[in-house]
Chain A
Amino acid sequence: MKRNWIVATGMIAGFLAIWEAAVRLTGTPVYIVPAPTDIAAVLAEDVADLLPAAGTTLLQALGGLVLGGALGLSMAAAITFWQQLEQGVMSLALLIKSTPIIAIAPILTVWLGFGPAPKVVVTALLTFFPVLINSLEGFRSVDPAIADWFRSVDAPPGQYFLQARWPSARPFLFAALKVVAPLSLIGAVVAEWMGASSGLGRRMWLAYTNLDMPSLFAAVIVLTALSAGVYRLVITAERRTVHWT
Chain B
Amino acid sequence: MSLEIRGVSKAFGDPPVPALQGIDFVAEAGTFTAVVGASGSGKSTLLRIVAGMTEPDSGQVTMDGRSPDDLRRGKEVGWMAQRPALLPWRRVRDNVALAQSINPRPDRRLATPDELLEMVGLSDAADRYPHELSGGMQQRVALARTLSIGAPLWLMDEPFAALDELTRETLAEDLLAIWQRVRSTVLWVTHHIPEAVTLADHIVLLTPGPGRVAGVIDVDLARPRDPTSAPFQALVRQARRILRGAHPDRVVA
Contact = CB atoms under 8 A, between A and B. Distances in A.
A156 interface: yes
Contacts of A164: 87
Interface stretch (A89-97, A100-108, A140-148): A140-148
Nearest to A155: B102
Contacts of A156: 102-103
28 contacts: A143-B85, A145-B83, A145-B84, A145-B85, A149-B79, A149-B85, A150-B102, A151-B53, A151-B72, A152-B77, A152-B78, A152-B79, A152-B155, A153-B77, A153-B79, A153-B99, A153-B149, A154-B103, A155-B102, A155-B103, A156-B102, A156-B103, A159-B102, A163-B98, A164-B87, A167-B87, A170-B89, A244-B88
A244 B75 contact: no
B81 A149 contact: yes
Closest 10 CB pairs of A and B: A152-B79, A145-B85, A244-B88, A167-B89, A154-B72, A145-B83, A146-B85, A155-B102, A149-B85, A154-B73
A154 to B, nearest CB: 5
B144 interface: no
Contacts of B225: none
Contacts of A243: 89, 129
B27 interface: no
B79 A148 contact: yes
A159 B98 CA distance: 10
B131 interface: yes
Nearest to A152: B79
A159 B89 CA distance: 15
B243 interface: no
Nearest to A166: B89
Contact of B89 (A149, A150, A151, A244): A244
Interface in B9-57: 51, 53
Given A163-B98, A167-B89, A152 B72 contact: yes
Most chain B CB within a 10 A radius of its CB, from A145, A149, A164, A243: A149
B129 A244 contact: yes
Q: How big is chain B's contact interface, by range?
A: 20 to 34
Interface string A152-186: 11111001000110010010000000000000000
A244 B53 CA distance: 29
A150 B51 CA distance: 12
Interface of A: 143, 145-146, 148-156, 159, 163-164, 167, 170, 243-244
Nearest to A170: B89
Grouping DSSP codes into helix (H, G, I), strand (E, B) and loop, the B interface class, with mixed when no group exceeds half, is loop
Contacts of B81: 145, 148-149
A159 B88 CA distance: 17
B120 to A, nearest CB: 17
Interface string B47-72: 00001010000000000000000001
Nearest to A146: B85
Given A149-B85, A154-B73, 9 more contacts: A145-B81, A146-B87, A151-B53, A152-B51, A153-B72, A153-B79, A167-B87, A243-B129, A244-B129
Contacts of A150: 102
Contacts of A244: 88-89, 129-131
A44 B129 CA distance: 49
Contacts of A153: 72, 75, 77, 79, 99, 102-103, 149
A148 to B, nearest CB: 6
A150 B87 CA distance: 11
Contacts of B99: 153
Nearest to B72: A154
Contacts of B98: 163
Interface in B117-171: 129-131, 149, 155
A196 B2 CA distance: 75
Nearest to A245: B88
A210 to B, nearest CB: 53
B189 to A, nearest CB: 14
Contacts of B130: 244
B53 A163 contact: no
Contacts of A146: 85, 87
Contacts of A151: 51, 53, 72
Most chain B CB within a 10 A radius of its CB, from A150, A152, A156: A152
A56 to B, nearest CB: 37
